[in-house]
Amino acid sequence: MKRSLRVGVTLAVRESAQSIWENGIFQNCAFLVQSLRHSPLVGQAVLLTNRPQVPRLSPDLLLQSSGLALMGLDEALQALDVVIEMSAQLDTEWVQAFGLRGGRLVSMYVGNTYVIDVERALFAQPPAGLWDRRRRDAVWTLPQYRRSCRAYLEVNTRCPVRELPHLWSPFFVQQACAGLAAGARFGYAPGRARWRLCGFEPNLCMVKTALIPLLAGELAYRQRPGSIEALRLCNALAWREHEGIAALVRGLDVVRDGVARFEPRYATYELMAHHGDCVISHQWENEQNYLHYELLWGGYPLVHNCEPLRELGYYYQGFDCHGAAAALLRALDGHDAGLAEHRGRAAAWLRGLDPGDARNVACYTAELQRLVAGGR
């Protein structure tokens, strides 16, 4: 097939300030467009905004230097052959009109849809995917949701679900680091006797919370208090006001000794450049995480429970606080001496995520071929 397909990936933009670091989905969109531009089937790949015309974008989205084209919905209705709905959810009438002129719609789910829907139903929050009935031509997701979401999506969309690679490159973190203040640097600096630990879990959903990192830091501090200077947990200001969590943390040594700090939201590169040496992370059914990729790229010791990264960083299993503390102590004891090897293994692994990697391009090209051939 000739390089003729015109493809758009939806991006939800707003008029107020907006940052690339608000969530991972903006990077997901950009990296997918970058990968599609390498496909031998694709003649044009753009970011499709959720506005009739392309609005003025916030500079903090860091898209100005990306080289990616943007398109509004009015133009896209006639100009595109395939729309991949990822960040912005499109209006039903627009989708119907697009389908009538032969356009193909792909829904790509890059969040844990099952958990999000269940939480919204249980806690009387506005519905997310529960559940629109628009017809899709294809449904894509990421390998990390094979167990929790794939069957759930297939039943509700009446469409087979295909797993496509997670994509990443250091482009956005490099752009952001270029704006750091003089003297600040994102990247692990060996030689500190006492580490400043950080946690960046959003604390908005069950899949990524800071309770395990907090308890792991507590256990490590009990064993070796002289090795830990601080434990900063971002996105955790609300914890100080929650009666149950406040009661829990008041009994911890890291809180009584003033080591633990509950912080607002910070961009990873920014906090680590000024106040971080190591990150403790925890996830549940959410193993593919830009936070981890950025930290590995920066050479930082990452204490994590992600099976695909088992050979990188400092792995512990599941919800094992003791295992996480032991992993942290291993990092304290050996990261400086093994830094060169750590960086080399991480760099080799991260290259496999690149949007231009031939294997990644081939996977997306195969699904586009299936889509335009009418297969599901």
**pTM listed for this prediction:** 0.95
Structure tokens at 8: 């758009």
Q: Which long-range contacts (CB under 8 A, 24 or more apart) does 88-95 make?
A: 88/10, 88/11, 88/12, 88/13, 88/48, 88/49, 88/50, 89/10, 89/12, 89/132, 90/10, 90/50, 92/132, 92/134, 95/134
In whole angstroms, what separates CA 68 from the centre of its chain? 20
Phi-psi region of 269 (alpha: psi -120 to 50; beta: other; left: phi over 0): alpha
SS3 7: strand
CA distance 175 to 183: 17
pLDDT per position in the chain (376 positions), as tens?
577 999 999 999 988 889 999 989 999 999 999 999 999 999 999 999 999 999 999 999 999 889 999 999 999 999 999 999 999 999 999 999 999 999 999 999 999 999 999 999 898 888 776 677 788 999 999 999 999 999 999 999 999 999 999 999 999 999 999 999 998 999 999 999 999 999 999 999 999 999 999 999 999 999 999 999 999 999 999 988 888 888 889 999 999 999 999 999 999 999 999 999 999 999 999 999 999 999 999 999 999 999 999 999 999 999 999 999 999 999 999 999 999 999 999 999 999 999 999 999 999 999 999 999 987 6
Whether 62 contacts 172, CB under 8 Å: yes
Task: State the SS3 of 118-133.
Answer: HHHHHCCCCCCCCCCC
Phi-psi region of 50 (alpha: psi -120 to 50; beta: other; left: phi over 0): alpha
Concatenating the DSSP letter of every residue in 226-246 gives GGEEEEEETT-GGGGG-HHHH
Which domains, and CATH codes, for the chain? 5-169+354-372 (3.40.50.2000), 177-351 (3.40.50.2000)
- H-helix or E-strand containing 73? helix 73-79
Q: Which long-range contacts (CB under 8 A, 24 or more apart) does 237-244 make?
A: 237/262, 237/263, 237/264, 238/203, 239/203, 239/210
In whole angstroms, what separates CA 3 from the centre of its chain? 30
CA distance 213 to 303: 9
